[in-house]
Amino acid sequence: MKQIYTKTGDEGMTSLRDGVRVPKDDSRIEANGQIDQLNALLGVVRSMLGDDEAHALLVHAVQRELMTIMSHIATPDGSVNPRELHAAEITTKLEQAIDRIDYQGGFVVPGGGSQLAAFIHLARTQARMVERRLWSLNREHPVDSSVLVMVNRLSDYLFVLANEKE
């Protein structure tokens, strides 16, 4: 069995993609930690969508793209990441899904409807956290603009989806 622990992070350092060591509170590590949390929340949402295949497939596509985004964030400046970003295409899919949802406007207090809607709202707030972290990161290490737009649109999608599932 492969050993999961390496003990290389015991002193507060971790590695980027190419083995470059950085502090565990480096802005790239913080952004990726927030994206990881969002991805886990989206996994809960996807597991609860049941027979809503269209939304489940879209959420899964977002999750896969978030993994690619994390790889790009963990790539040191000046290095090339071979994984292609598809954030612009995901943004288009999110916008199309938003347009199909019959959103009547207004805010709701999360948890007043379904458990699924409450989890979607939780994922939405985490998407906003990710967006803030990515903008902070962008000041030090440029983030592809398509990623910034995708995460913004993701929170919009989650907002109207939660309202639909209330």
Mean pLDDT (whole number) for 16-23: 91
Whose tokens are 């209330």? That residue is 166
- pLDDT category of residue 6 using cuts at 50, 70 and 90: confident
CB atoms within 10 A of CB 114: 13
23 burial (CB, 10 Å; 0-12 / 13-18 / 19+) is exposed
Range of the domain at 99: 13-74+81-165
pTM: 0.93
pLDDT in tens, 43-87: 999 999 988 999 999 999 999 999 999 999 999 999 999 999 999
Residue 1 is assigned to a structural domain of this protein = no
The verdict on residue 2 lying in a domain is: no
Number of domains in the chain: 1
Determine, yes or no, domain membership for 7: no
CATH number at residue 99: 1.20.1200.10
Sign of CA dihedral 145, 151, 156, 160: positive
Cα–Cα distance measured from residue 101 to residue 161, given in angstroms and rounded to the nearest whole number: 7
> How far is it, in rounded angstroms, from Cα 134 to Cα 73?
9
pLDDT at 109 over 80: no
Residue at 126 is within a domain: yes
pLDDT at 24: 95
